[in-house]
């Protein structure tokens, strides 16, 4: 039991409590993964059969990391644990049991694009306004219903739901949901939400199946339990009902996925389901400095709806947190980029030591521009996944058809790619014929001469013959050999190879990379099944966090805070801390939404290991209009004792300037400083300079007679004094020392200055 010696008392107690319901409340950076892996290893070491263990995670990456760590303790027995994401584990179970709910065992899993494509087809067929019935909106509505276990039939019977739909002018949503469900079923396909929805149906309607898996999974562990939705909650509760050896691990302070169905009440009310619950709190943060932990605690303390814990750190105090103010989002980007250059140079750091986190993807633009200007390499996370690229989806569609030719979305995607004389009109005829004969498009093209005119029948029949040949190959060859055969004989590889453009070459290389990945997959020794169909299932169930992030690349990381969950960086910049941006405008109307935004800020803060900088802009373009911004209320909630007193060169020059000497009631701020607080913990935004509000009736003056020494007002920069004028005629430039900003050089014909004196 050497592995237990490296645990602190709280961690060890949680690991050794193997019986009954257990909740491990794991604060940020508290060694949660170590506790989960050692607890699983401890169960195996104390006699539990790994085949009776079910460990559920939210990313494949997390499952893989945990399994590898468990293998370090118990060896190859770790391969026998049922471990993976909710969707991967229950997709596997559905493969075994699909026939009980009317699905083929080789059912296709539709990704989001497939689902939205099918919805767009239905909207077109039903001649509905695609602006009112936007495919994204319809998809999200159906997804939300499934996550709350509302079937299409129940949706149409629910008076409240129907009332909401009709009042919004979308009274046919229930009909669309019903048609969508039928089309998926006919195609032998489940969408991402169906994996959990159909699992609930399976366990509810087939008690024998439920009993089978209740007895198989004698011990359950669920990671990130605060992120579970209603559907996941019910599955876990049903499976654990007999033995009640259920351990959930999570942190209510990091529950940030309500927008995709996560229900924080699952963890807050866990004790109500299990009165005999034993609770262990992991409160020591091993990741961050004491100042960062203290700032995080001071923020989350403002949430009323939480499990109380006292997170602490025994690391060094570290740098205090810096507040950076910018006059615009572009200047905010410039400040951050210059800071990264400076920190990297002074401390010998790598670019990969830095991360810039923001509330919305749109904020990346200003950061990207600033980094590019200074030649700072960066990578944006949450961009297009490798598996979302067109050429990759095209080849995978051929794979899908090989194993499930009834997959309508895959069929529509590649039946005429490469071109083979089956255009949109022909495809419409095939679909009409299928509907008329109550069958699938595949059955129509398989017997094309019986249903289609000769001009369409010949190429359609040829396509069907090709797919049937792929099916024969896939039965007898390895995943890689079958994939290569399909890529070559579908004509896809030839089509991409013939495109000699840079983009064409890139697409061809992407296909080669996919084939390389399948080759590696087919040679893995840790998998019982390595067929092409299993590879496709793994791809379909990839989560956003499983995309290749190449941790060895020396680049600054840019990402939304949601994407940053589970990651950590030595230096973190949280940008855009402004009212109506963070917290978002949509979140300030209810306590629950505002508390989720505060938890999101908590998650952002706790990504930082050594140094944290928070920035905001006093003006930002929104919908093409420059608007003034207020600092976020969250800045106001930071205990001022943990904020740095930093006086830069700009501040010193302001203090030395006699023009401002009598106007400074207290020290101002430079790019990375905050005002000097009084004693104790103070509200900080009241001390931070606000955006300049132009004087009443502000109007630019004629500046043709502007002279050194004059006082002026700028609409954004505020009041300043002219200290130099140079240039001639239309290119006259004025150097002005602004009270809040410092020295700026402005081209007078564009400056829009009001002369004060």
pLDDT for 601-619, tens place per residue? Answer: 999 999 999 999 999 998 8
* 580 token code pair: 């109506």
Torsion angle, alpha carbons of 161, 164, 170, 173, to 10 = -10
622 pLDDT tier (thresholds 50, 70, 90): low
Please indicate if the annotation marks 28 as binding a ligand: yes
Please indicate if the annotation marks 47 as binding a ligand: no
Separation CA 496–CA 491 (nearest Å): 9
Q: Per the domain annotation, does 651 fall within a domain?
A: no
Report pLDDT for 691.
58
Report pLDDT for 525.
61
Q: What is the pLDDT of residues 95-140, one digit of tens each?
A: 999 999 999 998 999 988 899 999 999 999 999 987 789 888 899 8
Regarding whether 749 and 603 lie in a shared domain, the answer is no
pLDDT over 90 (residue 514) = no
Q: What is the CA radius of gyration of the chain?
A: 30
Please indicate if the annotation marks 32 as binding a ligand: yes
Which residues span the domain enclosing 746?
690-756
Regarding whether 182 and 133 lie in a shared domain, the answer is yes
**172-176, 506-510, 703-707 — most confident range:** 172-176
Q: What is the pLDDT of residues 465-480, one digit of tens each?
A: 999 999 999 988 889 9
For the chain, give the mean pLDDT.
Answer: 85
41: domain CATH number? 3.40.50.300
Report pLDDT for 218.
95
Please indicate if the annotation marks 366 as binding a ligand: no
Report pLDDT for 329.
86
* 84 token code pair: 């993976």
Q: Per the domain annotation, does 584 fall within a domain?
A: yes
551 pLDDT tier (thresholds 50, 70, 90): low
Regarding whether 343 and 327 lie in a shared domain, the answer is yes
The pLDDT of 524-537, averaged and rounded, is: 76
Q: Per the domain annotation, does 342 fall within a domain?
A: yes
Per the listing, tokens 């949450």 go with 382
Q: Is 325 helix (H, G, I), strand (E, B) or coil?
A: strand
Per-residue burial over 305-341, b if 16 or more Cβ lie within 10 Å, else e, is: ebbebebebebeebbbbbbbbbbbbbbbbbbbbebbe
Closest CA to 393 of 61, 108, 107, 113: 113
Q: For the chain, what percent of residues have pLDDT higher than 70? A: 90
Contact by Cβ (8 Å): 267, 281: no
Regarding whether 142 and 204 lie in a shared domain, the answer is no
Regarding whether 346 and 403 lie in a shared domain, the answer is no
Q: How far is CA 203 from CA 54, 109, 219, 233, in A?
A: 16, 20, 18, 13
502 pLDDT tier (thresholds 50, 70, 90): low
Report pLDDT for 168.
87
Per the listing, tokens 């190859």 go with 76
**1-5, 468-472, 688-692, 748-752 — most confident range:** 468-472
Regarding whether 122 and 92 lie in a shared domain, the answer is no
Separation CA 505–CA 256 (nearest Å): 40
526: domain CATH number? 1.10.486.10
Q: C-alpha angle with apex 695: 691 to 696, nearest 5 degrees?
A: 130
Regarding whether 504 and 397 lie in a shared domain, the answer is yes
Q: For the chain, what percent of residues have pLDDT higher than 90? A: 53
Torsion angle, alpha carbons of 5, 6, 9, 11, to 10 = -120
Report the residue count for the chain: 757
529 is catalytic: no
User: How many helices (H) and strands (E) in the chain?
Assistant: 33, 21
Regarding whether 231 and 319 lie in a shared domain, the answer is no
119: domain CATH number? 1.10.10
pLDDT over 50 (residue 648) = no
Separation CA 634–CA 597 (nearest Å): 10
Q: Per the domain annotation, does 621 fall within a domain?
A: yes
Q: Per the domain annotation, does 676 fall within a domain?
A: no
Catalytic residue among 111, 191, 193, 223: 223
579 is catalytic: no
Regarding whether 521 and 397 lie in a shared domain, the answer is yes
Separation CA 700–CA 702 (nearest Å): 7
* Count of structural domains, the chain: 5
Regarding whether 430 and 508 lie in a shared domain, the answer is yes
Is the bond preceding residue 382 a cis peptide, omega within 30 degrees? Answer: no
Report pLDDT for 102.
93
Regarding whether 530 and 394 lie in a shared domain, the answer is yes
| 707 against 657, higher pLDDT | 707
546 pLDDT tier (thresholds 50, 70, 90): low
| 652 against 347, higher pLDDT | 347
Regarding whether 557 and 537 lie in a shared domain, the answer is no
Q: At what angle do helices 502-522 and 532-540 cross, to 10 degrees?
A: 120
Contact by Cβ (8 Å): 262, 565: no
706: domain CATH number? 2.30.30.30
Q: Per the domain annotation, does 87 fall within a domain?
A: yes
Torsion angle, alpha carbons of 463, 464, 466, 471, to 10 = 150
Out of 541, 561, 576, pick the residue that ends a domain: 541
Catalytic residue among 59, 179, 232, 254: 254
User: What's phi and psi for 738, nearest 5 deg?
Assistant: -90, 145
Please indicate if the annotation marks 253 as binding a ligand: no
pLDDT over 90 (residue 634) = yes
Q: Per the domain annotation, does 679 fall within a domain?
A: no
Report pLDDT for 15.
94
Q: Per the domain annotation, does 708 fall within a domain?
A: yes
* 565 token code pair: 């969950």
Please indicate if the annotation marks 27 as binding a ligand: yes
32 is catalytic: yes
Catalytic residue among 11, 32, 183, 598: 32
The pLDDT of 743-754, averaged and rounded, is: 82
Out of 613, 630, 645, pick the residue that ends a domain: 645
Catalytic residue among 224, 595, 715, 740: 224
The pLDDT of 666-688, averaged and rounded, is: 38
The pLDDT of 395-410, averaged and rounded, is: 93
Separation CA 266–CA 127 (nearest Å): 41
Q: Partners of 83 in the beta sheet?
A: 55
Report pLDDT for 459.
92
Out of 162, 187, 212, pick the residue that ends a domain: 187
Query: For residue 578, what is the DSSP state?
Result: B
pLDDT over 90 (residue 234) = yes
Report pLDDT for 441.
93
Catalytic residue among 33, 156, 543, 743: 33
120 is catalytic: no
pLDDT over 90 (residue 679) = no
Tell whether the torsion through CA atoms of 218, 224, 230 and 231 is positive or negative. negative
pLDDT over 50 (residue 671) = no
283 pLDDT tier (thresholds 50, 70, 90): very high
């Amino acid at each position: 039991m050497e592995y237990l010696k490296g645990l602190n008392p709280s961690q060890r107690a949680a690991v050794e409590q193997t019986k009954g319901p257990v909740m491990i409340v794991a604060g940020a950076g508290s060694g949660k993964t170590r506790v989960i892996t050692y607890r699983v290893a401890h169960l195996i070491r104390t006699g539990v059969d790994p085949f009776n263990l079910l460990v559920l995670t939210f990313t494949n990456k997390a499952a893989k990391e945990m399994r590898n760590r468990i293998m370090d303790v118990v060896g190859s027995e770790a391969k026998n644990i049922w471990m993976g994401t909710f969707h991967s584990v229950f997709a596997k179970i559905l493969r075994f049991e699909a026939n009980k709910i009317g699905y083929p065992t080789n059912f296709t899993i539709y990704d989001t694009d497939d689902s939205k494509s099918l919805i767009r087809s239905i909207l077109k067929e039903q001649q509905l306004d695609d602006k009112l019935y936007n495919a994204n909106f319809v998809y999200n509505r159906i997804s939300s219903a499934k996550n709350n276990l509302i079937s299409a039939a129940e949706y149409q019977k629910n008076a409240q739901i129907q009332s909401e739909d009709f009042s919004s002018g979308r009274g046919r949503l229930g009909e669309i949901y019903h048609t969508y469900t039928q089309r998926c079923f006919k195609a032998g396909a489940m969408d991402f939400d169906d994996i959990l929805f159909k699992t609930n149906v399976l366990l509810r309607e087939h008690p024998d199946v439920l009993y089978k898996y209740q007895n198989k999974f004698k011990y359950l562990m669920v990671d990130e339990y605060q992120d579970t939705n209603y559907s996941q909650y019910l599955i876990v509760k049903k499976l654990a009902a007999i033995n009640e050896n259920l351990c959930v691990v999570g942190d209510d302070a990091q529950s940030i996925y309500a927008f995709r169905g996560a229900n924080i009440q699952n963890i807050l009310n866990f004790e109500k389901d299990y009165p005999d619950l034993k609770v262990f709190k992991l409160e020591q943060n091993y990741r961050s400095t004491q100042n960062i932990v203290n700032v995080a605690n001071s923020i989350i303390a403002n949430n009323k709806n939480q499990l109380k814990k006292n997170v602490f750190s025994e690391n060094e105090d570290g740098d205090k947190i810096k507040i950076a103010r910018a006059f615009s989002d572009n200047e905010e980007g410039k400040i951050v980029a210059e800071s990264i250059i400076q920190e990297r140079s002074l401390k010998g750091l790598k670019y990969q030591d830095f991360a810039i986190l923001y509330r919305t993807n749109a904020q990346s633009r200003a950061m990207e521009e600033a980094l590019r200007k200074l030649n700072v390499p960066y990578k944006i996370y949450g961009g297009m996944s490798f598996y979302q690229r067109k050429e990759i989806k095209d080849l995978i569609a051929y794979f899908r058809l090989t194993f499930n030719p009834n997959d309508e979305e895959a069929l529509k995607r590649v039946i005429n790619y490469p071109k083979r004389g089956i255009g949109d009109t022909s495809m419409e005829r095939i679909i009409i014929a299928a509907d008329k004969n109550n069958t699938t498009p595949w059955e129509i093209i398989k017997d094309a001469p019986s249903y289609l005119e000769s001009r369409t029948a010949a190429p359609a029949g040829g396509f069907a013959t090709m797919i049937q040949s792929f099916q024969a190959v896939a039965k007898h060859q390895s995943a890689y050999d079958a994939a290569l055969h399909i890529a070559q004989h579908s004509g896809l590889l030839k089509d991409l190879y013939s495109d000699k453009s840079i983009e064409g070459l890139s697409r061809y290389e992407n296909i080669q990379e996919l084939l390389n990945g399948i080759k590696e997959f087919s040679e893995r020794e840790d998998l019982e099944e390595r067929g092409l169909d299993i590879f496709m299932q793994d791809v379909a169930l990839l989560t956003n966090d499983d995309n290749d992030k190449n941790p060895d690349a020396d680049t600054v990381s840019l990402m939304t805070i949601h994407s940053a969950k589970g990651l950590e960086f030595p230096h973190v910049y949280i940008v855009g801390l402004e009212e109506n941006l963070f917290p978002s405008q949509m979140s300030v109307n209810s306590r629950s939404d505002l508390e989720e935004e505060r938890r999101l800020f908590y998650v952002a803060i706790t990504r930082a290991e050594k140094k944290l900088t928070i920035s905001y802009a006093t003006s930002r373009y929104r919908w093409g209009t420059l608007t003034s911004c207020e600092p976020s209320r969250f800045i106001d909630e930071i205990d001022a004792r943990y904020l740095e007193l930093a006086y830069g060169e700009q501040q010193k020059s302001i203090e030395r300037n006699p023009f401002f000497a009598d106007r400074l009631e207290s020290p101002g701020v430079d790019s990375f400083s905050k005002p000097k607080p009084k004693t104790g913990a103070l509200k900080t935004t009241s001390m931070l300079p606000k955006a300049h509000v132009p004087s009443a009736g502000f109007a630019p003056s004629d500046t043709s007679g502007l002279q050194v020494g004059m006082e002026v007002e700028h609409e954004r920069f505020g009041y300043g004094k002219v200290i130099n004028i140079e240039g001639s005629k239309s290119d006259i430039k004025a150097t002005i020392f602004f009270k809040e900003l410092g020295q700026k050089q402005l081209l007078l014909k564009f400056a829009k200055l009001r002369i004060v004196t």
